[in-house]
Structure 1
Amino acid sequence: MNLTSFIKDKFYSNLSLEIFFSRLKLISSKELLLLFFKMLILFSFFTNFSVKSQEIMPEKVYIGNADKGKIVAGQICSACHASDGNSKIPTNPILAGQHSAYLKKQLHNFQVKEGSKKAMRENAVMLGFASTLNDGDIADLAAYYSNQKIIPSYASDKDLALSGELLYKGGDSKNGIPACSSCHGPKGVGIPDQYPRLAGQYAEYTKSTLLAFKKGIRANSKQMMTISHRMSEKQIDAISEYLAGLR
């Protein structure tokens, strides 16, 4: 008995062979369609799962290496900030002894990140240098500079510094200016991972930074933008002078 006869006899003896195969094709098409939809659902599930997994995956944390940071500092940063971070130029900040987290944040903010049209902190000089750094370089630089001993600046106007001390410790409630010490501490050393060290910084640099916040040129801290906007330029001068001599 051939295959055709077998099929007719065993399964579809009352149907013509043509009808049988047409039904077979119909059944196969339905099964194929069902299988397709099942695969589509599974693909959608795993794709969605993959995307969500990527969303909740923590960013890679780079542990800074101070020795490597010293090399990068010598190649890129030393001309403006000195090899140990104790800048000799009053308009350039002293980086030695600054908190690692703050240094990393600022270097990242100088970079134009993917999807952004500009950096969060705009500075033509720093944009050029920061753009050459990868995440590892930034972590290494932060580790290096944060471990250097600061050679602090000093106040040159005693009366102005005394005026700044009152504002730093007591604020100005009339104008909605909180005491700077409430965040940066009585000695101006700040809080790691939250607020930067201010003590011993050049008055010229501190003043330019506060004015940048006040005018919206520097916009990477809403808190400081709000506070500095309420400060007069005379108050900014006083605070800057006081911080330069704070120990």
Structure 2
Amino acid sequence: MKKLIAGVVLGVGLTAMAHGAGDPEAGEANAAVCAGCHGEGGAKPVMAVYPKLSGIGEKYLHQQLVLIKDKEREIPEMTGLLDSMSDQDLQDLAAYFNEQDIAIAQANPDLVDQGQALYRGGNMASGVPACAGCHSPRGIGNEPAGYPRLSGQTAEYVDKQLKAYRDGDRDGGRNASIMMDVAAKLTDAEIEAVASYVSGLN
């Protein structure tokens, strides 16, 4: 009997670790306020400069929600929205959005070759590493490391964030220094190309 109980406890513990610390059902109850900008399930933002939250990665999204709540990442549109939420509420929101399906867009055909080359191979001449090294060849991110999914993200949002990293306007979070270093070496044309490419990456 003791072995059975221990097995059940271990199984539940491993399941919780596999799916993160959030409760998607609890997160759904708080997600309605997010739909006004990010769309139902975080899959279709009302403006392309807002991110898709669906499938982005639970660990990454939780980290960003904490930064926003703590005012370490300033997003005027989100001022006050998270103030009354506990850390568990934020974890639940992250878990909910991570379980939602993301829609893949259509990359600009004229930019695919350049975007693919940068994403998969970087730019050796300027010292830009391949995006695929952290965000995976398919763009699905790296959940244990907290690297977000890029596949299907809006090109406008990725473009805006890369420029924010490059200009030093986005410098919060544990991986910000990595992204600031990468973005500092990217030209506007490279940012446009790789942002378009990941929006259609599947």
Shared fold by TM > 0.5? yes
CA contact (8 A) 1:154 1:202 kept: no
Choose between structure 1 and 2 for higher RCO, CA contacts under 8 A separated by at least 6 residues.
2
CA contact (8 A) 1:99 1:193 kept: no
| Structure number having the greater helix percentage | 1
2:196 paired with 1:241: yes
Q: Identical aligned pairs, as a percentage?
A: 36
Give the structure 2 partner of residue 145 of structure 1: 97
2:31 paired with 1:80: no
Deviation at 1:150, TM superposition (A): 1.1
Separation in 2 of the partners of 1:93 and 1:153?
Answer: 13
Give the structure 2 partner of residue 95 of structure 1: 53
Deviation at 1:153, TM superposition (A): 2.2
Separation in 2 of the partners of 1:132 and 1:152?
Answer: 33
Which is higher, the Rg of structure 1 or of structure 2? 1
Q: How does 1:147-166 map to 2 (within 5 A)?
A: 147-155=99-107, 157-166=108-117
Q: For 1:37-94, what per-residue CA distance to the aligned partner results, in whole angstroms no more than 9, with x for missing partners? A: xxxxxxxxxxxxxxxxxxxxxxxx99311111111001x2110111211123211111
TM-score (norm 2): 0.84
Separation in 2 of the partners of 1:181 and 1:130?
Answer: 32
CA contact (8 A) 1:67 1:144 kept: yes
Give the structure 2 partner of residue 71 of structure 1: 29
Deviation at 1:193, TM superposition (A): 2.8
Q: 1:223 aligns with which of 178, 185, 195?
A: 178
Separation in 2 of the partners of 1:216 and 1:132?
Answer: 29
Alignment coverage as a number of residue pairs: 179
Q: For 1:118-157, what per-residue CA distance to the aligned partner results, in whole angstroms no more than 9, with x for missing partners? A: x3212112232232321111011011011111122221x2
Q: How does 1:21-40 map to 2 (within 5 A)?
A: none
2:147 paired with 1:205: no
Q: 2:122 aligns with which of 160, 171, 193?
A: 171
Give the structure 2 partner of residue 183 of structure 1: 134
RMSD value over aligned CA atoms?
A: 1.5
Runs (4+) of structure 1 exceeding 4 A deviation are none
Separation in 2 of the partners of 1:224 and 1:215?
Answer: 11
Structure 2 unaligned runs (5+)? Answer: 1-16
Separation in 2 of the partners of 1:183 and 1:128?
Answer: 32
Residue identity opposite 1:80 in structure 2: C
Give the structure 1 partner of residue 83 of structure 2: 131
